[in-house]
Amino acid sequence: MELAVKFLNPADDEFVIDPACGSGGFLVETLRHVVAALTVTRPDMTEGERKDAVLRYARTYIRGIDFNPDLAKVSKMYMVLYDDGHTGIFSADSLSAITDLAAASQAAGAGAFGSAMFDVVITNPPFGTKGKITSTERLSQYQLGRNWQRGDDDCYTPTQKLRPGGQTPEILFVERCVELLKPGGRLALVLPDGILTNSSLRYVRDYLFNELHIIAVVSLPDGTFRQSGVNPKTSVVFGVKKGGDVQGVTEVFMCELDRVGYDLVKKTAPMSFKRNPEGQVLRDAAGRPLVDTEVPDALAAFEQFKADQGLPF
């Protein structure tokens, strides 16, 4: 979560949404990021002024949706503990029509909601769910709900014919996330590696390349989502929606993480610490154990990549 948020670097005047927010982890990490940035960039603020600024940001710019009303409640409570961004969270089916989601947002007191509204979309959508969406009404709302055909240029384009066997929710979720972004908006999307590699899903990748400047792909270690009951190999895809200021991205930042600070072999995934050859936990000068993670190195490398590519965030 920290890596995804810091890669996208949301600012305190940008709309952020997690359309599958679960217990609110990405949103809380976003708030932490904004608080840390304000502390550095606005040293003139008193502690009270900073708290007021964070509260205004959380209530104005943060949105979260989850299909499970109990999880939405958990997310709200989690956000209350971290500067009270709970008002923008509501329960709904994120794959519903945008007009229905806007109505649900207003009814829940979560504020304005619409397509092409958000500067940052950051999410770990539900994958591995059984069954497909077969409703013609629902499928017709999505390009990825249609059959795609391969053209003479070796690229796939959508037809007018709906997919006869339906479509998996995780693939429709890809399009919904892109739809929520404004031009130039930034996306972090956790995806099963199958979507990125299977030949039968080439059309999904073509959709992403048509809509986004893909700027980074970070491969996550095996077992990252074992606790949630599913365990596919996953990666985080980072992109910038076309039509904004970002132009001419010539390279993609690629990174494979093996160590993320948790022992993913164990079901409970306890924290993992650096150890010396004798097996003793290493500590910093203050006596705190050193977390065994490659995330700081990945963040530093991506900052250099952004500078080299002239990415403005």
State pLDDT tens for residues 157-189: 999 999 999 999 999 999 999 999 999 999 999
Specify the pLDDT at position 81: 76
Specify the pLDDT at position 85: 59
Confidence of residue 226 (pLDDT cuts 50, 70, 90): low
Residue 248 has pLDDT above 80, yes or no: no
For the entire predicted model, the pTM comes to 0.92
Answer yes or no: is 201 within a domain: yes
Answer yes or no: is 280 within a domain: no
Answer yes or no: is 290 within a domain: no
Tokens of 41: 């960039």
Confidence of residue 76 (pLDDT cuts 50, 70, 90): confident
Domain that holds residue 221: 2-260
d(CA 27, CA 90): 13
User: How many domains are contained in the chain?
Assistant: 1
- In tens, the pLDDT along 102-121 reads 999 999 999 899 999 999 99
Answer yes or no: is 29 within a domain: yes
Residue 84 has pLDDT above 70, yes or no: no
Answer yes or no: is 256 within a domain: yes
Answer yes or no: is 129 within a domain: yes
CATH code, domain with 22: 3.40.50.150
Specify the pLDDT at position 231: 64
Q: What does the mean pLDDT of the chain come to?
A: 91
d(CA 167, CA 203): 13
- In tens, the pLDDT along 250-305 reads 899 999 999 988 887 777 778 899 999 999 999 999 999 999 999 999 999 999 99
Answer yes or no: is 296 within a domain: no
Answer yes or no: is 199 within a domain: yes
| 165 CB-near residues (< 8 Å, 6+ apart) | 132, 134
